[in-house]
């Protein structure tokens, strides 16, 4: 027998031909299982972009984390001065 046990037609010339008729594809390795998750990469890239955007405005967030960036921008907007998260003061 050249076909798989689940083959409905059982008329293929080879086992490979039977598998090809099922249009099986190679799924590869799960990216998130190996520590590579595209969603996380995009999130991290967006945080870095926002961090650099803040520093170009003179704002210095405490870190590149979203919460620190948002807090520094909010404080700067409310005070009308750029916030320096390292010194925890406003720049003149």
Residue 21 lies in a domain: no
Residue 49 belongs to a domain: yes
Asked if 72 and 62 touch (Cβ cutoff 8 Å), the reply is: yes
pLDDT at 4: 80
pLDDT in tens, the chain (92 residues): 688 888 888 888 888 888 788 776 655 555 555 566 778 888 889 999 999 999 999 999 999 899 999 999 999 989 888 888 777 777 76
Query: Is 26 inside any structural domain?
Result: no
Assess if residue 16 is contained within a domain: no
pTM tops 0.75: no
Domain range holding 79? 36-90
**Position 45 in a domain:** yes
Predicted local distance difference test score (pLDDT) of residue 29: 54
As for how many domains the chain has, the answer is 1
List all residues 6 or more positions away from 9 whose beta carbon is below 8 Å from its beta carbon: 3, 21
Q: Is the residue at 69 inside a domain?
A: yes
Which pLDDT belongs to residue 51?
Answer: 93
DSSP assigned state of 60:
B
Q: Is 24 helix (H, G, I), strand (E, B) or coil?
A: coil
Is the residue at 14 inside a domain?
no
Is 70 part of a structural domain of the chain? yes
């Amino acid at each position: 027998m050249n076909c798989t046990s689940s083959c409905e037609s059982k008329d293929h010339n080879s086992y490979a031909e039977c598998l090809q008729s099922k249009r099986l594809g190679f799924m590869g390795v799960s990216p998130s299982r190996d520590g590579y998750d595209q969603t996380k990469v995009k999130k991290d890239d967006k945080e870095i972009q926002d961090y650099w955007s803040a520093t170009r405005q003179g704002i210095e967030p405490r870190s590149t984390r979203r919460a620190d960036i948002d807090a520094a921008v909010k404080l700067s907007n409310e005070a009308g001065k750029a916030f320096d998260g390292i010194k925890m003061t406003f720049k003149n």
